[in-house]
Amino acid sequence: MSPSPSASSSDSSCDTRSSESFKSSSARAMWWFDELVVLDARVIEMVVKLLVCRNIDSALISRFLFHYQKSRSTSASCGERVRLVEAVVEILGILDVRCVSCKSLFELLRVAVKLRVSRQSRNKVESAIGSLLDQAMLDDLLIPSSPSRSVESSRVEHVAKLIDSYLAEIAPDPCLKPSKFLAVIRGLPDSARDSFNGVYHAVNLYLEDRRYAGALGLVRWRLCCSINYEKLSPPVLSHLTENARFPSEHVALALIFQRNKYEEVSNLEGGRRVNGCDEVLVCTKMQPQIVKMRKSRISRLVYGRFIDLHLKCC
């Protein structure tokens, strides 16, 4: 029996009243935020210490501090913004970090990186984030580097290795959604990785206990497309060519790159140049396709055309 119009109307009005009540109570709790924004950071520190002594909720105080930092920054110079962020970071240390918003801390860290605040202040924010990392969302982890600061390649490679190790840890998790797993892989550009061996092993682990049939076959395809085959070592390419978890198109592509790498080594050792084309039979669900690729021009461009070919056939 469907609810009567009057009952539906009553439920809707109750929801509206409860939402308005929540907003009203939240506004009442934060009425003093704008009143204190005019105060100097040193005065704010004393006020916060007083609030903590009176057992005021650390979550509410931290919300005020983030509001204070944003409000004062709008009309401040670059130097003033730096000092403001550093002051807020110091005051946050007084609070119970477990009650502070992880998302707001990440936003503060982004500002700190952009303004190039002291390493000491950034370390404090990062330390606070570390204790709340279980609350972080994937988007929170994307912290931009300073636009005018060149990052050493060795540091980038180190980050890539850490992320690949992280991928290997989370890959066996049966609750991990493909979109989240793929987002972690694509969190770094191809140029940041000298080798995609780690990504291949992680994808292989992810596919190990999963069955992607029918519509989910596209999920497996996208995961396999996240691998840069040009940056796979010969042993890994050899393993991929015998891997039943990968689509036949990708196995064929691995064979092409494996042959290309082998002949590059042969050319260097024998001092001869090989010309011509290879023909590889690619078995798709619709019909066999002959893909002609010149070995000297196998690249990401060719790989993109290879994917387009598959999509046209599906």
Encode the chain (314 residues) as per-residue pLDDT tens digits: 444 544 444 444 444 454 454 345 555 667 888 889 889 999 999 999 999 999 999 999 999 999 999 999 988 899 999 999 999 999 999 999 899 999 899 999 999 988 999 999 999 999 999 888 778 776 666 666 554 455 456 677 788 888 999 999 998 888 888 888 988 898 888 888 889 999 999 999 988 866 554 446 778 888 888 898 889 988 888 888 888 888 888 888 888 887 877 666 555 555 444 333 333 333 333 223 333 333 333 444 445 545 454 444 44
- Sign of CA pseudo-dihedral 292, 297, 300, 305: negative
**Pair of tokens at residue 243:** 């891997």
**Pair of tokens at residue 42:** 């040193």
Distance, in Å, from the CA atom of 84 to the CA atom of 284, rounded to the nearest integer, reads: 60
What is the model's pTM?
0.44
Burial 104-137 (b: 16+ CB within 10 A, else e): bbbebbebbbebebeeebbebbeebbeebeeeee
- Residue 299 has φ and ψ, to the nearest 5°, of -155, -175
Distance, in Å, from the CA atom of 290 to the CA atom of 275, rounded to the nearest integer, reads: 19
